[in-house]
């Protein structure tokens, strides 16, 4: 049986690591996994997790999705000279009042989340088209389906990814290539720890009005509660990826957390959006009443 070749971005931790381990440990040996990461010095945890698995089921490659040459070099190192399943998982987060976000930081977010995803797909799409076969799976977010306060730039990047994937899905069905978005809510990974955000006591926030600072503080408390109450484990998200990979007729979207669907449904149902905005505001800010300045 010829193994399916899978390339995954962002495998140093979290969802990418969990998915790479699950596929590499497949008891049938059905997959050859190329686990990529920007900094291969961080591969130790991944290698520890696959200890005991077949040694020929996974290779680790250096790949920076913000560097076109890095992507092409990784592609050229694939022994099979093809990728059957491409998983675009690399991503970064950014929260905080929009007024304090620098242009440089905002560009970095867009470079990774939007252009990084596009660059990666560009590199492997011609081969899939030529073979008339392939799967493209992208780590989406509830922040790509609905706006979240203090996440304006992150949501913009994820909304853009949704548009890219929807557009490609229409075209690529004519090449027998399936595109799927795995829509995640809060996940217990290093994503939150690595999230770029100003803390409430940072000097940068002194440029922001007191009311916004109070709401931001409330939002941070809300985030902490959400991660305590609703966050999923990376292994659970990997299971949803596996569902999409194994499906003979994969869907465009897979939702990992049903607890977040009501607000998404409300947004789609609201004609002018005003009811959704009110409901989202109550959902985020009602649990901790921000003090008036």
pTM: 0.91
Nearest of 95, 94, 97 to residue 214 by alpha carbon: 97
Task: Give the residue ranges of the annotated binding site for substrate.
Answer: 141
Task: Give the residue ranges of the annotated binding site.
Answer: 10-38, 64, 141, 158
Rounded-to-5 percentages of helix, strand, coil across the chain: 55, 15, 30
Task: Give the residue ranges of the annotated binding site for NADP(+).
Answer: 10-38, 64, 158
Helix (H) or strand (E) holding 113: none
Helix (H) or strand (E) holding 87: strand 85-88
Catalytic sites, residue numbers: 154
Nearest of 188, 178, 138, 136 to residue 158 by alpha carbon: 138
Give, in degrees to the nearest 5, the angle at Cα 285 between 101 and 92: 35
The torsion region of residue 12 among left (phi > 0), alpha (psi -120 to 50) and beta comes to alpha
Nearest of 228, 200, 217 to residue 284 by alpha carbon: 217
CA 282, distance to chain mean position in Å, is 26
Nearest of 228, 7, 271 to residue 123 by alpha carbon: 7
| Domain segments of the chain as ranges | 4-204+232-259
Instruction: Encode the chain (293 residues) as per-residue pLDDT tens digits.
Output: 699 999 999 999 999 999 999 999 999 999 999 999 999 999 999 999 888 777 799 999 999 999 999 999 999 999 999 999 999 999 999 999 999 999 999 999 999 999 999 999 999 999 999 999 999 999 999 999 989 999 999 999 999 999 999 999 999 999 999 999 999 988 887 666 667 777 666 778 888 999 999 999 999 888 888 777 778 899 999 999 999 999 999 999 999 987 666 666 766 666 677 777 887 788 788 755 544 44
Q: The domain at 4-204+232-259 falls in which architecture? A: 3-Layer(aba) Sandwich (3.40)
């Amino acid at each position: 049986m010829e193994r399916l070749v899978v390339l995954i971005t962002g495998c140093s931790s979290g969802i990418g690591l969990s998915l790479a381990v699950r596929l590499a440990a497949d008891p049938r040996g059905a997959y050859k996994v190329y686990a990529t990461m920007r900094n291969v010095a961080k591969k130790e945890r991944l290698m520890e997790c696959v200890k005991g698995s077949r040694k020929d089921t996974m290779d680790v490659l250096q790949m920076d999705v913000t560097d076109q040459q890095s992507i092409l070099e990784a592609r050229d190192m694939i022994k099979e000279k093809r990728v059957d399943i491409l998983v675009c998982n690399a991503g970064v987060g950014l929260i905080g009042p929009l007024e304090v976000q620098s242009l440089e930081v905002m560009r970095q977010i867009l470079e990774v989340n939007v252009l990084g995803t596009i660059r990666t797909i560009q590199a492997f799409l011609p081969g899939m088209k030529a073979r008339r076969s392939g799967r493209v799976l992208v780590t989406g977010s509830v922040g790509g389906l609905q706006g979240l306060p203090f996440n304006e730039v992150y949501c913009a990047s994820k909304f853009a990814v949704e548009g890219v994937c929807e557009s490609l899905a229409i075209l690529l069905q004519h090449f027998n290539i399936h595109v799927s978005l795995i829509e995640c809510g809060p996940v217990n990974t290093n994503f939150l720890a690595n999230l770029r955000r100003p803390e409430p006591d940072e000097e940068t926030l002194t440029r922001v009005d007191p009311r916004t600072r109070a709401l931001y503080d409330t939002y941070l408390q809300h985030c902490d509660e959400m991660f305590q109450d609703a966050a999923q484990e990376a292994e659970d998200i990997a299971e949803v990826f596996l569902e999409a990979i194994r499906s003979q007729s994969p869907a465009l979207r897979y939702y990992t957390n049903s607890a977040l669907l009501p607000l998404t449904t409300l947004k789609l149902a609201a004609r002018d959006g005003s009811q959704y905005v009110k409901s989202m505001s109550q959902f985020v800010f009602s649990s901790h009443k921000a003090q008036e300045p």
